[in-house]
Amino acid sequence: MNPETFLDALSGIALTPDAIQVLPDARAYRDCLLARIAAAERRIVIVALYLQQDEAGQAVLDALYRAKAARPALDITVVVDWFRARRGLLGAGRQPGNAAWYQAQRQLQGLDVPIYGVPVQTRELFGVLHLKGSIIDDCVLYTGASLNNVYLHHFDRYRLDRYHVFQSPALADAMAGLVQRLLHPVATPRLDLPEPPATGSLRSDIRRLRARLRRLVYEAVPSRPGQGMRVVPLLGVGRGNTLNRTVCALLAVAQQRIVICTPYFNPPRAVMREIDQALARGVEVELIVGDRTANDFYIAPGEPFSASGALPYLYEDNLRAFARRRHVCLASGQLQIRIWNDPGHTFHAKGMWVDQRYSLLTGNNLNPRGFNLDLENGLLIDDPQQQWLAPREAELAALRRFAPAIGSADELGVKADHPKPVRKLLRRLRYSRLEPLIKRVL
């Protein structure tokens, strides 16, 4: 099937332009989320990689318990990654994890607000729950952000993401329905109840769950392409999934311009191949990538170093190599690379814009891990009549605000300037021939 036919055949839901709102920043998203929870009448489905035990996480959990107390018939479901909830923060030593907090809060509140843990693989390294999109009544809040202080800009620091609000009963039903079909009485245990099972006892059930995940699809109400705006919900887990195929098809159909946004520059071979073919066709390609200091794994000089602190430098090395190999396109302006950096803050925005028709919202980092290991999803906005250009361009302008374009790969520095612990670790990886393997799980 050629890319155009593939995209047209995707099952979508008809929308009007005023059914989509783009929120400007993390604070606006936080305020919207809390207000929607407070006003919920029928259902709340919160899906995130994690709901963190901090001030912002407490505000969200308190809002859910208040809503349940005010309307006992309200159906509330919270879904987070199983592994992430049962461990502490990276580099912070042994901690009980958020699950212990969920249990304490349930005992304190005395109300039933179920929090489920989803193990996508038998080990966190090989796959996590990376679904995005929370449903409140007939509204979908779609963002790549998790729920903690920095993602919700609770104090001074923020982590930039993308924030969209869809008012669509059909989309809300499709996304809520998938979450309910995702949950399993054994393989996705409650984390808010005492003594959740050990991961080892779930291994067989987790393998069966992952096999079932590969067959899951959104049950969307189809609308014909070319008949106005539509939104296409996409699911992806494992190789060759619908989301991956859609990403590649979008790149393949581009005729004028592609914009790609990712905090972690480590494209899979399929994506790299489509980018190069687009450049060969004369398509303009723009990348918006976070500066290494805007990476959430960045460790400032003088702070205790851990292995995860080398990741921002590895991503920067990837980008430098990419820019050098395509220096002709970069020099001519056909390829534009923008480096986002608002000092003190971090960057987490992902997605794609193709020509003036397609906009892809996704939590997928467009890297090998997102393509092969994690459970991902996305919302494709198909706008054949260009009815939604103004909000689309306004969002792009905001993303470019702190992202000046570089003129050459030399502006990204050289490996010799990396801190000594980073150089030492990356050299070990290269000499041990583990670097290709490491890149597949990052």
Per-residue pLDDT tens for 102-154? 999 999 999 999 999 999 999 888 889 999 999 999 999 999 999 999 999 99
Same domain for 278 and 189:
no
In this predicted model, which residue has the larger pLDDT, 332 or 422? 332
CATH of the domain at 200: 3.30.870.10
Residue where a domain terminates, one of 213, 243, 266 = 213
Q: Give the per-residue pLDDT at 91.
A: 47
Say yes or no: 290 and 165 in one domain: no
Residue 221 domain-assigned? no
Instruction: For residues 216 and 318, give the distance between their C-alpha atoms in angstroms, rounded to a whole number.
Output: 33
Q: Are residues 189 and 255 in the same domain?
A: no
Indicate whether 392 belongs to any domain.
Answer: yes
Strands 230-236 vs 13-14: parallel, antiparallel or unpaired? antiparallel
Please tell me the predicted confidence (pLDDT) of residue 33: 98
- Neighbour-count burial of 430, counting CB atoms closer than 10 A to its CB (0-12 exposed, 13-18 middle, 19+ buried): exposed
Q: Decide if 46 is inside a domain.
A: yes
d(Cα 352, Cα 359) in Å, to the nearest integer? 6
> Is 2 domain-assigned?
no
User: Higher model confidence: residue 174 or residue 87?
Assistant: 174
Question: Residue 257 corresponds to which tokens in the numbers above?
Answer: 């311009």
Task: Using the predicted structure, report yes or no on whether residue 92 has a pLDDT greater than 70.
Answer: no
Q: How is residue 334 written in tokens?
A: 């056909």
Among 213, 241, 257, residue at a domain's last position: 213
Catalytic residue IDs? 130, 161, 348, 376
DSSP letter, residue 380: E
243, 201: one domain: no
State percent of the chain over pLDDT 90.
83
At residue 434 the predicted structure's pLDDT band, cuts being 50, 70 and 90, is: low
Paired residues of 115 in beta bridges: 78
70: confidence class by pLDDT, cuts 50, 70, 90: very high
| Ramachandran region, residue 94 (left: φ > 0; alpha: ψ -120 to 50; beta: rest) | beta
Residues 168 and 271 in one domain: no
For residue 8, is it within any domain?
no
| Position 350 in a domain | yes
pLDDT higher than threshold 50 for residue 93 = no
For 328-345, b/e burial (b = at least 16 CB within 10 A) is: ebbeeebbbbbbbbeeeb
- SS3 category, 207: helix
Which whole number is the average pLDDT over 317-329?
96
218 inside domain: no
Residues 285 and 197 both lie in one domain? no
Beta partners for residue 159, in sequence order: 346
348 and 392 share one domain: yes
Spatial CA neighbour of 30 closest among 147, 164, 165, 157: 147
Whole-number Å distance between alpha carbons of 153 and 267: 29
**Dihedral angle sign, alpha carbons of residues 136, 139, 143, 149:** negative
Q: DSSP assignment, residue 41? A: S
Q: What is the mean pLDDT of the chain?
A: 93
Tell me the residue length of the chain: 442
- Considering the domain architecture, whether residues 267 and 355 belong to the same structural domain is answered as yes
Do 149 and 56 meet the contact criterion of CB atoms below 8 Å apart? yes
Q: Give pLDDT, residue 222.
A: 75
358: nearest Cα among 235, 204, 434, 255: 255
- Dihedral sign computed on CA atoms, order 120, 240, 436, 364: negative
**Per-residue pLDDT at 286:** 98
Q: Assess contact for 29 and 143: CB atoms under 8 A.
A: yes
The answer to whether position 7 is within a domain reads no
Same domain, 265 and 383: yes
Lowest mean pLDDT among 124-138, 212-226, 279-293, 354-368: 212-226
Burial 128-158 (b: 16+ CB within 10 A, else e): bbbbbbbbbbbbbbbbbbbbbbbbbbbeeeb
Residue 308 has pLDDT above 90, yes or no: no
- Record the tokens describing residue 346, joined without a space: 């971090």
Q: What is the structure's pLDDT at 435?
A: 62
Domain that holds residue 166: 18-213
- State which of 182, 213, 244 marks the end of a domain: 213
pLDDT at 294: 97
Indicate whether 185 and 252 sit together in one domain. Answer: no
Q: How many domains does the chain have?
A: 2
pLDDT at residue 441, rounded to an integer:
55
Q: Which pLDDT does position 207 carry in this prediction?
A: 94
List the structure tokens of 87: 């461990």
59 plus 206 within the same structural domain: yes
Same domain (yes/no): 191, 306? no
pLDDT of residue 425: 84
Q: Where are the beta strands (DSSP E) in 159-239?
A: 159-160, 163-167, 230-236
> Backbone dihedral region of 222: left (phi > 0), alpha (psi from -120 to 50 degrees) or beta?
beta
pLDDT in tens, 375-418: 999 999 999 999 999 999 999 999 999 999 999 999 998 888 88
